[in-house]
Structure 1
Amino acid sequence: MKRNATAVWKGSIKEGAGTITTQSTTLKNTQYSFKSRFEEGVGTNPEELVAAAHSGCFAMQLSAFITEEGFEIESIETQCFINLVEGTIIGSHLIVNAKIAGISDDKFQELVTKAEKNCPISKLLNAEITSVATLV
């Protein structure tokens, strides 16, 4: 499987702007700029997109592990915070809230840790990955 996205940037780093389009066109000519990345501007930014990718990937991986163990999932909500320091992503922190019938907290935490280490985006990131997971 291969997926792609295209970014087009025009102009200098601070005054320029760009657009991002994904293969699925879920993002189509979506605006990004210096302001949307480092200040408060309209549009997305690469770190926000990495956060979206990591939260989605992690939730799917956790779902797979929970399903393999025979538990029924009502919901898994994952929020991701990407930490960019001096031009380097140094961390990704996941906040997970899940409703899963019959699972113990110990088993849930074990599967969260397993998903944290094994989702493809976690493997891609060269950064510390942490999480806080709560059964609700």
Structure 2
Amino acid sequence: MTLLSAARAVRENAHAPYSRFKVGAAIRGADGAIHVGCNVENIASPEGTCAEAGAIAAMVAAGCREIVEVAVIADGPAPVTPCGGCRQKLAEFARPDVPVTMATLSGEALTMTVAELLPGAFSAAHMGDRP
């Protein structure tokens, strides 16, 4: 299964009764495993969870701490980018050169790096020497 097909498959499990905008994400960890997530909306908006955040949580729960590739898919007119919060979450676990492929159900795709999606990401370097 490809990363994009894993994202497409998990997208079907999204809980999006309010926006009806289902999103699926798949990430490949440094261990080679694929971890998936879908958006989970909540009536008490914005208490839902983004697909990318769900995939990252699944990766961390499995014991992996490094992302080497990302795929996100939604049914929109153009490839949907991760939100700002998810861009920072991706930057927490991915090097700046990690590719993020964003796709539509109709097959249009756009690939950018984490650094292109979030230039000037906040990082541990900004924290200085902390114990």
Report the TM-score, using the length of structure 2 for normalisation: 0.33
Structure with a larger share of its residues in helix: 1
Structure-1-length-normalised TM-score = 0.32
User: Greater CA radius of gyration, 1 or 2?
Assistant: 1
Larger fraction in strand: 1
> Structure with the greater relative contact order (CA < 8 A, sep ≥ 6): 1 or 2?
2
